[in-house]
Amino acid sequence: MTQINTERITYDIGIGGMTCASCVARVEKALKKIPGVETATVNLATESARIEVVSLDTTDARLRRAIREAGYEPRTPEDAEAAANNTSPWAGFAPVALGLLLSAPLILPMLGDLWGQHWMLPSWVQFALATPVQFILGARFYRAGWLALKAFTGNMDLLVSLGTTAGWLLSVWLWLTAHEGHTPHLYFEGSAVVITLVLLGKWLEARAKRQTTEAIRALHALRPDKAHWVSEDGEVDVPVDEILTGDRIVVRPGERFPLDGELLEGQTQVDESMLTGEPLPVNKTAGASLTGGSINGDGRVLMRVTAVGHETVLSHIIRLVEDAQAAKAPIQRLVDKVAEIFVPVVLLVALLTLAVWLFMGENFETALIHAVAVLVIACPCALGLATPVAIMAGTGVAAKHGILIKDAQALEIAHRVQTVAFDKTGTLTVGQPRLTHQVAAPGQDANAALGWAASVQSGSEHPLARAVVTAAKAQNLTLTNPAKLNAVPGRGVQASVDGRQLLVGSLPWLQQEGMDPGLWEADVQKLQAQGATLSALAERTDEGVQGLLLMAFGDEPKEGAAHALTVLRSRGLKLVMISGDNQAAAEAMARRLGLRPEDGEVMANVLPDDKAAQVQKLRKGGRIVAMVGDGVNDAPALAAADVGMAMGNGTDVAMHAAGITLMRGDVALVGAALDISARTVAKIRQNLFWAFAYNVAGIPLAALGYLNPVIAGGAMALSSVSVMANALLLKRWKP
């Protein structure tokens, strides 16, 4: 029997030598031909490929071989890291400088013509200056262009090499066939200057790319190399990679916490701004959680490590940002299809230009120069960069302000959101309810009943359960470990305590189990009118289910939540709060938040399992819906929405289900996430417009003879640089 291995493995491979969108298409095509490759996404801006395979036979080496056979250089992680860490502003400028030095004398006669001066250099001098630029500095274009031809495709390098070679050969021909004593007009300056300008454009482009990856580098830089490990022999400085979960480490004032952990001794203030965007330090005392990468204040503290390696919050953040920057936005797929046929179309237009000018009676020299201008001005690199650089800049600046965008699709959709649905507890409210009222049934002792309720819920993490336990401990009540504990999801819990069969949960559930619905009727109406969340303790006896204690809980709106909702409404968004509370309690809290129950902005009595169904209901009619939540029971609803936003103070499950993670529980970040989405998509559209405009306008102008090759080369280089510069404007964004 043959076992089929369906394990999904993801590989990230750096790629050298890509210059335009056509290169992207070629690498993707080569990778997708390999058996076992599920998806292959190549990103020109990051110069990398992300490949998902479903076969152990498809190894990293096999993928790298396919990249090499396609004509590109697969990079090792060490090469990629060295390139990323080379932050010198002049890195890689030497070839450009040499090109400028050799090309400058060739341009002087052109400049002299503007003032009526004729500074024509001897033909042999022009040849001597232009030839090293053409064949030494331009060798990279020949190599990449030849590999493209071998693969029966085209790219930017092919266009540049064909165009400049034609100009150089024409100049050599005119020089060698000129009459003695006659100095013909040569075009060496055109080919040399075009190559130099394209090299300059590529250098500026690479410099801009380094700026777009600053966010990732800044996050990596938050990891300290050493930790003060507390061993049996005292403090020892060891590499962070050697620390294990459960180890105790000391963090001194001003140092970064090397890993996630729990504060054991001492108290301090912690700067978490690089992780959450929160500018104010956070007070930490014994028992508080600490996040690796944050900065310790003025206290020397001892911590116990709870997560290492890829399990830390910082590693998770870096992974999310890298995933978003490696992803391909839906709009890019259309661009890729255009880029795939771009080079063949340009070659055809260049041939037609040559043929038409010859047909119109022009000499071969003029017709060829116009064809060369067409080849040189065509710029598929701007098309390939337009989308990824904007996504990299947008996700990078968003991460800096505490907004992690998990995938490009969420980024592209978020700005079109029409309805925002919020979970109530922990999202719009503080999420730490406290016991505000307790009413014992006739003949019952309130303190004893509270002790039983706390005993039943002593092991639960539910916010209401924690509030009951906290209230019982505040009254110094003795708790008993429950037996035969059985949780009923969304309703309550039942257990045996001191021989009593106790139930703690919602009133509707207890009434279904047989509790008298008329018990506490007046108190229930009064407390619900005040917006309290109600729960009760009952006992199952031979006579049925007897109510023992009514408990009322109150929560507070988050600071700034009401203002954030007002801002969202001012943007024309429909707002909805989804709550498991009864209608009266949910509406009371909604009014405190500035929501309007009378306009359908409250969905009450929604069980956890039904939240996703409510989100689907909101999506009817084609409305784009964002869901904001923080708990495990929000995960299905986050996944069901067009855009899921998880509060980072919530659970990992919610964060995995969401396309966007808000690293602090600030409702204002919802509006900020929608805003950065709108601005990033605007930059993508602007970039695509200019990338297409350069070609739509430039190619006809070149074909009609209005642009010479030098101006065409400058325009080609400028198109890529302008796209990069426009995307980098996003770095100035602030929420």
pLDDT per position as a tens digit, 155-206: 778 888 888 898 899 889 988 888 776 667 788 888 888 888 888 877 877 7
The mean-pLDDT minimum among 201-215, 401-415, 425-439, 493-507 falls in 201-215
Give residue 111's pLDDT. Answer: 67
Interval 666-692 mean pLDDT: 91
Interval 382-399 mean pLDDT: 83
Q: If pLDDT is split at 50, 70 and 90, which confidence band does 299 have? A: confident
Contact assessment for residue 417 and residue 675, using Cβ atoms and an 8 Å cutoff: no
pLDDT of residue 5 exceeding 60, the answer is no
Name the percent of the chain lying above pLDDT 70: 91
pLDDT of residue 91 exceeding 90, the answer is no
Interval 338-356 mean pLDDT: 87
**How many Å apart are CA 545 and CA 542, to the nearest integer?**
8
Give residue 664's pLDDT. Answer: 84
Fill in the DSSP letter of residue 429.
Answer: B
pLDDT of residue 681 exceeding 50, the answer is yes
In sequence order, which residues have a C-beta less than 8 Å from that of residue 708 and are 6 or more positions away?
190, 369, 373
Interval 76-93 mean pLDDT: 67
In a 3-state reduction of DSSP, which class is residue 616? helix
Interval 632-659 mean pLDDT: 75
Q: What is the dihedral sign for C-alpha 100, 105, 110, 112?
A: positive
Amino acid at position 289, single letter? S
Q: Which of 201-205, 256-260, 275-279, 656-660 has the highest mean pLDDT?
A: 256-260
- Based on C-alpha coordinates, what's the Rg of the chain? 34
Alpha helices in 658-705 (DSSP H): 668-703
In order of their start, the domains of the chain are 9-85 (3.30.70.100), 95-214+322-394+682-732 (no CATH), 244-307 (2.70.150.10), 402-430+557-679 (3.40.50.1000), 434-554 (3.40.1110.10)
The two three-digit tokens of residue 566, written as one number: 């007002």
Fill in the DSSP letter of residue 151.
Answer: T
Residue predicted with more confidence, 358 or 460:
358
Q: Which of 9-23, 507-521, 701-715 has the highest mean pLDDT?
A: 507-521
pTM of the model: 0.72
Catalytic residues: 423
Q: What pLDDT digit, counting tens, does each position of 119-133 carry?
A: 678 889 999 999 999
Give residue 4's pLDDT. Answer: 45
Contact assessment for residue 71 and residue 154, using Cβ atoms and an 8 Å cutoff: no
Q: What is the dihedral of CA 55, 58, 63, 65, to 10 degrees?
A: -160
Give residue 1's pLDDT. Answer: 35
